[in-house]
Amino acid sequence: MNTPNVASTVFIVDDDEAVRDSLRWLLEANGYHVSAFSSAESFLTAFDEKTAGVLIVDVRMPGMSGLELQEQLIARKSSMPIVFITGHGDVPMAVSTIKKGAIDFLEKPFDETDLREIVARMFEQANQRLTQAKAQREHEAMLGRLTAREQQVLERIVAGRLNKQIADDLGISIKTVEAHRANIMEKLQVTTVADLMKVALAKPEAHT
């Protein structure tokens, strides 16, 4: 297997040292960088929301459980892909974690081939989420170049208002509206109203 094409880490959170060691050995043997923690609390202390990585976490641990850790990451708006491992199979629990965004749910002892495949899939998803986040930042930065008045004009263009209607709405002249439109087109790097609409309405897809 190739090293993941994202500069990233597999984070392992499990209170069982033997499980941590076996996972580390398996994943490092496949070219992954691994960072292991014995508790959810120690992971959260070291965790940076900007870190690009994937998380393998035990469901049941002393102190904060894996499910509670998932809730904490959701609250922090982390998009890090998660897979749960547990020695206590629980189908409703599995459904709950996956509905909240987990990639998968594996019972101990887990199959090594399955784990490798899941981690590869997790990194694919991490890449997709990073690409989406970058596109969202670029889109917001582009729209952020507009002045408050230009944003008002753009909103009305998107709503299908004509120049005269926009002028009436904002209490400005038609020529001023036209000047704002020209500035908007230049700042958003478009030459047609159709392209302008595409940029204005562009919404990178939410995580799935």
Chain segment 109-130, per-residue pLDDT in tens: 777 788 888 888 888 877 777 7
Mean pLDDT in residue range 18-41? 91
Rg (CA), the chain: 24
Query: Residue 45 burial by CB count (10 A; 0-12/13-18/19+): exposed, middle or buried?
Result: exposed
- Best CATH choice for the domain 9-134 from the list 3.40.47.10, 3.40.50.2020, 3.40.50.720, 3.40.50.2300: 3.40.50.2300
**pLDDT reported for residue 193:** 84
pLDDT tens, position by position, 149-201: 999 999 999 898 999 999 999 999 999 999 999 999 999 888 888 888 888 88
Residue pair 89/16 in contact by the 8 Å Cβ criterion: no
The reply to whether 145-201 shares the fold of 9-134 is: no
Q: What are phi and psi of 92, to 5 degrees?
A: -60, -40
Task: Verify cis geometry, omega within 30 degrees of 0, for the bond prior to 4.
Answer: no
Domain boundaries, the chain: 9-134, 145-201
pTM value is 0.62
Residue pair 170/152 in contact by the 8 Å Cβ criterion: yes
Fold of 145-201: Arc Repressor Mutant, subunit A (1.10.10)
Average pLDDT, the chain: 82
Per cent of the chain over pLDDT 90 is 31
pLDDT tens, position by position, 67-78: 899 889 888 888
